[in-house]
Amino acid sequence: MSSVINTNIFSVHAQRQASLTQRSEQVSMERLSSGTRINQAKDDAFGVAMTGYSNTQISGYSQSMRNANDGVSMAQIADGAMGGITDALQRMRELALQGASDSYSNADRESLQNEFTALQSEISGIIQNTTFNSIDILNRPESQSRKILEIQAGASTTNAVENHVHNSLEMDSTTKGYYTGGGLSQSAGVDQEYTLTAAGDRTIEIEVDGVLSDEIELDAGTKTTVAWAAELQQKINSDPQISAAGKSVSVSYDLSENEFVVLSESDGEGSTVKMNNGIFRLALGTTAAAEDGQSELVSLVGLDVSQRQMSWSVDGQPIQHITLPEAVKTPQQWAAYLEQAVDGVEVTTQWLTTSPPSEYKLTVASSTGDDGSVSLSGGVAPLGLMVPDTDKIKMNHYDLDDPEHALGLILMDTEKVNSQVDAEAMLSKIDAAIAHVNEGRAHFAAVENHLSTVTNYLDDARVKVSEARSNISDTDFAAESAELAKMDILKQVTTAMMAQANQLPKQMLQLFK
C-alpha cells in the first residue's frame, strides 16, 4: 500500500460509516418517536400501498357496521310496531267473534263498532307514525316506486353481502339461475324523429291466412317509419307465394304503441298473419298468432364495449371472457349466440308477459347435467344478464295501509262489525290481515338476523385487517430500541476510528528524520 498524505483513505472510510450510522440512528429515532415503521414512502414503497389499502378497508368495515346497526334498529322499530298492530288485530278479531253471536243487542253491537273503529284508527296511527330518521318504515310514500330499503353492508364489492344472492350467481340444472330482461315494446333504434335503424341485412318470412311466403330480404339502413311500412307492405304483397294465392296485407305504424301493424286484407274472422325472424317488433293484428314474442328484438347497438362484456365459469373450468357484438337480435337468437360463444352451457328463453312491455327470462344451465354449475361476472343490461347488486341487504318498504293488502282493506271506513253478517265476514279478513302482518314480522326478523350476522363478520374482518396493517406499519419497539442502542455504540466507535485515522498521516513525518 502506498503512503500518501493528500488522501486519507482510512478517514474517508470512517466518515462514510459514521454517515451511515447516523442515518440509521435517525430512522430508528423517527420510528420510535412516531410509533410507525413507515414514515416516508421511501421507507417501504409496497408497505405504503398496502397500508393505504388496509386503511380504506378498515374505514369501510367500520362504516358498514354502523350502517348494519342502523338497519338492525330500523328492523327492530318496524317489528315492534307490527307487534302492536298484531295485538290490535287480535282484539279486533275478538270483537268480530262477539259480533258474530246472536246474544248481543243492537246497542251492544254499536259499542263493539265504536271500539273496532278506535282500533282501526290506532293501527293507522301506528303505521303513519312509525319512522326511523324521518323515514316512514311502514307507510311507503305513494311517490316512491321502489318497494325496498337497501342497507349498505359491504365495505367493497369483493366482500359485500346481499340477501339470498352470491357475488357470482351460481346455477345448476335443478336450481337454475334466471336473468330477467324487459321493456321490449320499444322498437330497436326508434328515436324522437320516428326513424328505425336495421343494424344488418335480414330476411323475414310471413304467413298470411295459411300461405307462407318465400324469404323476404330487407336491407340494412335508417328510414322513417312510413318508409319502412311502405317497403314492408310492397315486399310482402309482391312475394310470389302471397300474390299467387291472392293474398295481401296492409302495413302501418302505430305511434301510440310504437310498433308496426301487419294485417291481412282478407275478410273473415279466420284471417291471420304470422311472422318469423323479424327485423322489427310487429303487432300482428287482433287475430294474429305470434310465436311467444318471437318478433321482439333486443338491440346492443351503440353500447360501449365494457357494457357488452361478460365472464363465465362453467363446471369449474377456466373462465371464458366474451364480448357480445353490436347487433339487433331476438332473445331466442341471443340465447343461441350465448350457447355458441360459451362452451358447456344451455340457454333457454321463457316469456313472462305477452303484452307490452314484454318481459322474458333467460335460463342458463350447465350442459353436463345435475352436477354442473355456471357462474357469471359482468353483464349486459339490455339482455337482463346482470350480476345482482351484492353491496346491499334489501329490506321491504311496506305500505301497510294500502287497500290492496289485507291489512289496508280492513282499515277502510266501510269495514264494520255492527251486524252479525258483517262481523262474520270480518273474521276471514282479519285472519288474512294477521297473516300479512306476521309475514312482515318474519321478514324483519330475518333481515335483523342477517344484519347481525353481517355485523359480526365485518367486525372480525376489521380486526384481521387491522392486525395485518399493524404488522406492516407499526413500530416494533423492542427491535427498534435494540437497533438504536447498536447505532449509538457504532457512532461512538466510528468517531474514535476517525480520530485514529486522522493521526495516520503524521507517521509520514518520521521519513524526514
For residue 124, the model assigns a pLDDT of: 92
| Greatest mean pLDDT range, 61-65, 117-121, 249-253, 452-456 | 117-121
- What mean pLDDT do residues 67-82 have? 90
Do 397 and 148 meet the contact criterion of CB atoms below 8 Å apart? yes
* pLDDT of 137 above 70: yes
Q: Are residues 481 and 404 in the same domain?
A: no
Nearest residue to 137 (alpha-carbon basis) of 431, 432, 448, 392: 448
Q: 149 has which bridge partners?
A: 395
For the entire predicted model, the pTM comes to 0.52
* pLDDT of 28 above 60: yes
Local structure of residue 180 (DSSP, 8 states)? E
How far apart are the C-alpha atoms of 459 and 62, rounded to whole Å? 8
Q: Are residues 405 and 441 in the same domain?
A: yes
For residue 8, the model assigns a pLDDT of: 80
* pLDDT of 284 above 60: no
How far apart are the C-alpha atoms of 308 and 436, rounded to whole Å? 42
Residue 197: pLDDT band with limits 50, 70, 90: very low
| Greatest mean pLDDT range, 323-332, 345-354, 361-370, 465-474 | 465-474
* pLDDT of 114 above 70: yes
Query: From the CB of residue 351, how many other CB atoms can be counted at a distance below 10 Å?
Result: 16
Q: Are residues 172 and 314 in the same domain?
A: yes
Residue 277, CB-side half-sphere exposure with 13 Å CA sphere: 14
Residue 166: pLDDT band with limits 50, 70, 90: very low
Burial (CB count <10 Å: 0-12, 13-18, 19+), residue 472: middle
Phi, psi of 307 (to 5 degrees): -85, 0
Round the average pLDDT of the chain to a whole number and report it.
75
Chain-centre distance of CA 415, in angstroms? 41
Q: Which of 387, 419, 434 is the last residue of a domain?
A: 387
Is 188 a domain residue? Answer: no
* pLDDT of 26 above 70: yes
How far apart are the C-alpha atoms of 229 and 67, rounded to whole Å? 56
Which H helix or E strand runs over 168? none
Strands 298-299 and 282-283: unpaired
For residue 180, the model assigns a pLDDT of: 37
Q: 24 has which bridge partners?
A: none
For residue 220, the model assigns a pLDDT of: 65
- What confidence tens digit (pLDDT) does each residue in 393-430 have? 777 788 888 888 889 889 888 888 888 889 999 999 99
Nearest residue to 232 (alpha-carbon basis) of 246, 211, 247, 248: 248
Phi, psi of 444 (to 5 degrees): -65, -35
Cβ partners under 8 Å of residue 421, min gap 6: none
Chain-centre distance of CA 220, in angstroms? 36
Do 283 and 260 meet the contact criterion of CB atoms below 8 Å apart? yes
Q: Are residues 457 and 312 in the same domain?
A: no
* pLDDT of 241 above 70: yes
Q: Are residues 25 and 70 in the same domain?
A: no
- What confidence tens digit (pLDDT) does each residue in 478-500 have? 888 888 888 888 888 888 888 88
For residue 414, the model assigns a pLDDT of: 86
Is 54 a domain residue? Answer: no
Q: Are residues 499 and 463 in the same domain?
A: no
* pLDDT of 181 above 50: no
- What mean pLDDT do residues 36-60 have? 83
Q: Are residues 358 and 487 in the same domain?
A: no
Q: Are residues 465 and 480 in the same domain?
A: no
Which H helix or E strand runs over 197? strand 195-198
How far apart are the C-alpha atoms of 481 and 502, rounded to whole Å? 32
How far apart are the C-alpha atoms of 356 and 295, rounded to whole Å? 12
Q: What's 422's domain CATH number? A: 1.20.1330.10
Strands 273-276 and 249-254: unpaired
Is 148 a domain residue? Answer: no
Q: Are residues 275 and 343 in the same domain?
A: no
Number of domains, the chain: 4
- What confidence tens digit (pLDDT) does each residue in 314-332 have? 777 777 888 888 887 777 7
Is 3 a domain residue? Answer: no
Q: Are residues 318 and 377 in the same domain?
A: yes
Q: 218 has which bridge partners?
A: 202
Q: Are residues 465 and 500 in the same domain?
A: no
Of 127-136, 300-309, 402-411, give the lowest mean pLDDT range. Answer: 300-309
Distance of CA 500 to CAs 25, 300, 492, Å?
23, 83, 13
| Greatest mean pLDDT range, 38-42, 197-201, 219-223 | 38-42
Query: From the CB of residue 232, how many other CB atoms can be counted at a distance below 10 Å?
Result: 24
How far apart are the C-alpha atoms of 322 and 415, rounded to whole Å? 59
Is 379 a domain residue? Answer: yes
Residue 134: pLDDT band with limits 50, 70, 90: confident
For residue 118, the model assigns a pLDDT of: 94
Domain region containing 460: 65-143+398-469
Is 453 a domain residue? Answer: yes
SS (H, E, C) 318-339: CCEEEECCCCEECHHHHHHHHH
Q: Which of 272, 295, 318 is the last residue of a domain?
A: 295
Is 51 a domain residue? Answer: no
For residue 89, the model assigns a pLDDT of: 94
Q: Which of 243, 274, 295 is the last residue of a domain?
A: 295
Do 61 and 462 meet the contact criterion of CB atoms below 8 Å apart? yes
Do 330 and 296 meet the contact criterion of CB atoms below 8 Å apart? yes
Is 42 a domain residue? Answer: no
How far apart are the C-alpha atoms of 432 and 127, rounded to whole Å? 17
For residue 283, the model assigns a pLDDT of: 39
How far apart are the C-alpha atoms of 244 and 247, rounded to whole Å? 8
The CA-to-CA distance between both ends of the chain, in Å, stands at 22
For residue 479, the model assigns a pLDDT of: 85
Strands 259-264 and 282-283: parallel
Q: Are residues 311 and 174 in the same domain?
A: yes
